Amino acid sequence: MTRTKCKASELFFMGVVLSAGICFASELQNTLRPPRNGSVYVVAHRGAHQGIPENTLAAYKRAIELGVDFVEIDVRQTKDGHLVSVHNASVDAYVLDGKKGKVNELTLEELKALDIGSRIDPKWKDEKIPTLDEIFSLCKGKVGIYLDLKEAPVDRVVQLVKKYGMEHDVLWYADVNELKEVQAACASCIVMPDPGPVENLSKLIELFHPTVVAAVWEYFTPEMAMECQKQGAVLIVDEGHVSPPQDVECWEKLVEGGAGGIQTNYPEELIRFLRTRNQQR
């Protein structure tokens, strides 16, 4: 997840509010399935990637096995126009043989030739950078997708979402202008804007009338959660990059503060935490 793409300056100088037809697309968006682990959605950041290469089919398969609600993917476009999931703009950090290059300057064939798994464990040497087609095929009917639009054309991604009939299963995280494009191209798609600090939330709600709002731990407040609840929106918070045992304290504060979802690097532990908490109540 990219930290706070919706800058305050973008929010307050957007001009006129979206047309009524787009503004009230939220009526069509209110179709989220209930959380699988109590009242809080679990989002597996880059899949379940503890001991597994991130943003790979293996990481997404493991997340599905654990029972998460959404897997987070990072979408980029290759030099030859294919859509893939890679977090970084370049592949430099993912390979051990010194091969380098930007995703948008490499073809799909070149990307598929890379060994992105051996840096985690030799047993993952055959794990490859996945295309969105492969990810959607794997996830359809099994898990939702938290789509972080890094660098790819909105219309191409919308076409793929529609091809798989996953308009109600994909949450779109992107900047303000990209989210406007999504709503214009797909009224039933679920946009998920990020206000940054809480003072930007009301303007953002006015712009998008969202049913899902994104936030990061640094900006989360119970007031933000309460305002989202008043507007009928679920607040999904990226916990950041904390690790046990600090994450348990973070999760407790988020749940008590009214967060409706948590994005984490530790989905298995978060599910265990939520289930234990539910049993104790």
pLDDT tens digits along 53-100: 999 999 999 999 999 999 999 999 999 999 999 999 999 999 988 889
Residue 241, Cβ density class (10 Å: 0-12 exposed, 13-18 middle, ≥19 buried): exposed
According to DSSP, the residues that pair with 49 across neighbouring strands are none
DSSP codes of every residue in 20-84: HHHHTTHHHH--PPPPSSSSSEEEETTSS-TTS-TTSHHHHHHHHHHT-SEEEEEEEE-TTS-EE
Structural tokens at position 64:
């599905």
Residue 109, Cβ density class (10 Å: 0-12 exposed, 13-18 middle, ≥19 buried): exposed
pLDDT of 3 higher than 90: no
pTM of the predicted structure, to 2 decimals: 0.89
User: Phi then psi for 214, rounded to 5 degrees?
Assistant: -100, 150
Average model confidence (pLDDT) across the chain: 90
pLDDT band (50, 70, 90) for residue 173: very high
Could you give all domains of the chain from N- to C-terminal order, each with its CATH number? 8-280 (3.20.20.190)
Check residue 281 and give its pLDDT: 75
User: Phi then psi for 216, rounded to 5 degrees?
Assistant: -115, 155
Higher-pLDDT residue of 30 and 153 is 153
Check residue 97 and give its pLDDT: 84
Total residues found in the chain within this entry: 281
pLDDT of 198 higher than 70: yes
Strand bridging mode 41-44 / 70-77: parallel
pLDDT of 120 higher than 60: yes
pLDDT digit string (tens) for 206-263? 999 999 999 999 999 999 999 999 999 999 999 987 666 678 899 999 999 999 999 9
